[in-house]
Amino acid sequence: MPDWLTAIVLGIVEGLTEFIPVSSTGHLLLTQTLLERLGLMHGNWDAFTVMIQLGAILAVVLLYFQRLLLVALRLPSDPKSRRFVLSVLIAFIPAGIMGFLFHHMIEGFFSNPRLICITLIVGGVILWVVDRWHPAPRHTDAMRYPLLTSLGIGLFQCLSLVPGVSRSGSTIVGATLLGCDRRSSAEFSFFLAIPIMIGAFSLDAWKHRHDLTGGQTELIAIGFVVSFLVGMVVVRVLLDYVSKRGFTFFAIWRIVVGAAGLALLTWAGK
């Protein structure tokens, strides 16, 4: 398979899974394993998979640009805007600190695809249980969460440092357990993705800066655009979907993909 087509496939996987609670990193790794096993993919794509994440994040920034711009403009004079920014920063800090301090150890965990498959399955079961039995919602506006609620969500996000748990999944489960409704839980997860993914992107991009070549830059551009476009569609559709139907579909998705991944790894002898 030509490299440009591989870039499109991986860009679709990234854009499709970055904001839903199914673990984009786990899906990218399992997709690469499948393509390699089929003889359709060769070479080192580590730098590529890091760089295209920014495309998906840009989709959120663009979709919420007007609201985020208003917050920025009102920041000096509006207490609600300052509170929202503080809320996101408080939620960002725990995982940001742990990710920076234990970056190399965490990377080692992500090289274990079997662990990712197992956590996909376990996380799917947890997501299904929380979606079925959770506290009555008390908070419905993602931009007005209490600061202690935001801190609690940030602590839950630390679970995403375990491979296969999913950043969006851990924040959504945490928000739901802390009394936030489904729609605002997903929306706060989008807002929180901006600083956490930019930080992770910057750290990994610096690490892989010497791995980039002219040909890889073109492939990254393709994957970036694809992940951006697919991410735009996913974010638009996801909020209405989870408001009406919850997260059961994604719980089943995780379990099926985790089980299929274990079968794939057994077939690939890994």
139 φ/ψ angles, rounded to the nearest 5 degrees: -125, 125
What helix, strand, coil percent values describe the chain, rounded to 5? 80, 0, 20
Sign of CA dihedral 175, 179, 182, 183: negative
CA distances from 198 to 3, 95, 157, 239 (A): 26, 13, 15, 22
Distance CA 59, CA 34 (A): 27
**pLDDT digits over 245-269, tens only?**
999 999 999 999 999 889 888 876 6
pLDDT at 171: 94
**pLDDT digits over 195-244, tens only?**
887 877 777 777 766 766 656 778 888 999 999 999 999 998 998 899 88
Contact between residue 224 and residue 218 where contact means Cβ atoms under 8 Å apart: no
Give CA angle at 28 (196, 193), nearest 5°.
Answer: 15
Between residues 120 and 50, the one the model is more confident about: 120
Average pLDDT of 103-121?
79
Complete DSSP assignment for 46-76: HHHHHHTHHHHHHHHHHHTHHHHHHHHHHTT
Distance CA 12, CA 16 (A): 6
Q: What SS3 class is residue 41?
A: coil
**pLDDT digits over 74-110, tens only?**
998 999 999 999 999 999 999 888 877 877 776 666 6
Residue type (1 letter), 89: L
pLDDT at 161: 85
pLDDT at 129: 94
Distance CA 244, CA 88 (A): 26
Number of compact structural domains in the chain: 1
Element (H, E) at 95: helix 79-101
Q: Which domain holds residue 42?
A: 3-268
Confidence class of residue 46 from pLDDT cuts 50, 70 and 90?
A: confident
Contacts of 55 (CB under 8 A, 6+ apart): 11, 14, 15, 223, 224, 225, 226, 227, 228, 231
Between residues 157 and 51, the one the model is more confident about: 157
CA distances from 119 to 164, 237, 270 (A): 5, 26, 17
